Amino acid sequence: MGGGTSVAAPCFAGMVALINQKMNTPEGQGNINPILYSLAATAPAAIHDITSGNNIVPCSPGSSDCPGAAPFQFGYNAGAGYDQATGLGSVDAFDLVEAWGSSVAGNLPAPALTAPANGAAGVSLAPQFSWTNVAGNAGYRILIANSPTGLPTDPATATCNACAIVDETDTNSNAYTPPSALAAGIYFWQVQALEPSAARGTAAWSNVFSFTTAGPALAAPALTAPANGATGVSVPPNFSWSAVIGNAGYLLFVAKTPGVLPTNPAVGTCSGCSTGTKVNATSYTPPSAPTAGNLAAGTYYWQVKALSSSGGVYGAWSSVFSFTTVPGDFSLSASPTTLTISPGNSATSTLSFTPINGLSGNSVTFSCSVSSTLAGVTCSVGALDSNNTATVTIAASFSASTFPAWQKVRRLNARGTQTWAGLGLLLAFLIALHRRDSQTLLLRKWVRLIAFGAALMAAFVAGLSCGGGGGGVNPAPSESGTVTVQGTGPSTSHSVAISVSVD
């Protein structure tokens, strides 16, 4: 901590160094007291006279400089000009350096604002501004803004990007009427005298006054949807409200807690809001997920106000409504749900996506899988179109006609059984040819002939049953299984099955 001359002396020494630099006097300025007293009287923007207050402190009776009678205190009161409490006053380093060495009067004092009075209400939309005259002025500069933070404090600043009006008057014209009517709302204004062109200083800005205009003030809109306290609201919700005559758009704020919503009509921002946007209509729907501004499931509070044509933000705020959203969901269906495909070909089914609670299809991903019983079968899901439908393509390669090994073995076993049956019948007849019995030789001869013919017939039949000539092959059995299409959303997932046969 520090104070008194321990701080003031080096600070003022720095100011004098700047003066020496400006005046190109490395040898110094010598005794500067006469110049300081002169500037205190002629450049109030450089040295601000402090005329009220004191540095009086209590003291103990009998101590040095303490009066011998009550009240036991000593010190000095501030007053006009030099005083032992504040000296010449407080110093503006920039204006002091600018005023130093000026050959003419510079650094004009600030005018005193007179009308509209500070805090005045019910002021006309075409108000008359006035202020006290400043001797030596070359006119005045007036700034009118919708917010006090937009007004400059540096005397050297003559611009104001945030101001509704930046204008100047002629010499000694200490009154002003705006060229066009103001909108209803709150305004802040200040005035600065203009220095003559020969002066090297800058004039001080006046204090800032505020006033509120009267007239056809913008009313608060009536909120309509979502209704106050509504539950089960889809995401994103659709906001709507009543129209306000004379509006230049609307400002909508949505927040998770009501405490962050502004109540002052002069406030046009909300750092704690989930959504804050200007719209030109009486309705608004936030963007869908996953873009910025989307509202997730939960409870929200919202309000709206109309904007004035002058670009101000001072329409009255509506009442605050609350609503509760529900998580987005969806359902899936396919048509057809049964497909038959031949090897080397493909077929399609149409997938339909139905949003629930406003869920966007852009936030859902799709995939498909094939059951193990469908060898050589693949699937793919296309992108959703504007009708929320997508094409599911299922393809069966030529390898899909290659059946499992147990089916091949069964077919081979069938062929072997037929072949061995034919051979067995032939062997039986050949054995019969060698049998001996009590029949005559003639009878044996006929038996041999009959047996030989029967054996030939059995062998022929067995050959046909084994596939000779291709007429006896059993048709290959078909494959069947399920293709499953899966949709995965932010909080839920659903699937649909398609039955597939390869034949």
pLDDT tens across 224-278, in order? 999 999 998 888 889 999 998 878 899 999 999 999 998 877 678 888 888 889 9
Which overall architecture, per CATH, does domain 113-213 show?
A: Sandwich (2.60)
The answer to whether 381 and 486 are in contact (CB under 8 A) is: no
Q: Is the pLDDT of residue 29 over 90?
A: no
Residues 95 and 89: their CA atoms lie apart, in Å, by: 14
Q: CB under 8 Å to 292, separation ≥6 — which residues?
A: none
pLDDT tens across 93-115, in order? 888 887 776 544 456 778 999 99
Which overall architecture, per CATH, does domain 330-401+478-502 show?
A: Sandwich (2.60)
CATH 2.60.40.10: does it fit domain 223-325? yes
Domain residue ranges in the chain: 5-99, 113-213, 223-325, 330-401+478-502, 405-470
pTM of the model as a whole: 0.39
Same CATH fold, 223-325 and 113-213? yes
pLDDT band at 489 (very low <50, low <70, confident <90, very high): confident
Q: Is the pLDDT of residue 141 over 50?
A: yes
Phi, psi torsion values for 145, nearest 5 degrees: -130, 165
Q: Is the pLDDT of residue 415 over 80?
A: no
* 70 vs 320 pLDDT, higher one: 320
Q: What angle do CA 335, 340, 343 make, to 5 degrees?
A: 135
Residues 72 and 90: their CA atoms lie apart, in Å, by: 29
How many helices (H) does the chain have, and how many strands (E)? Answer: 5, 28
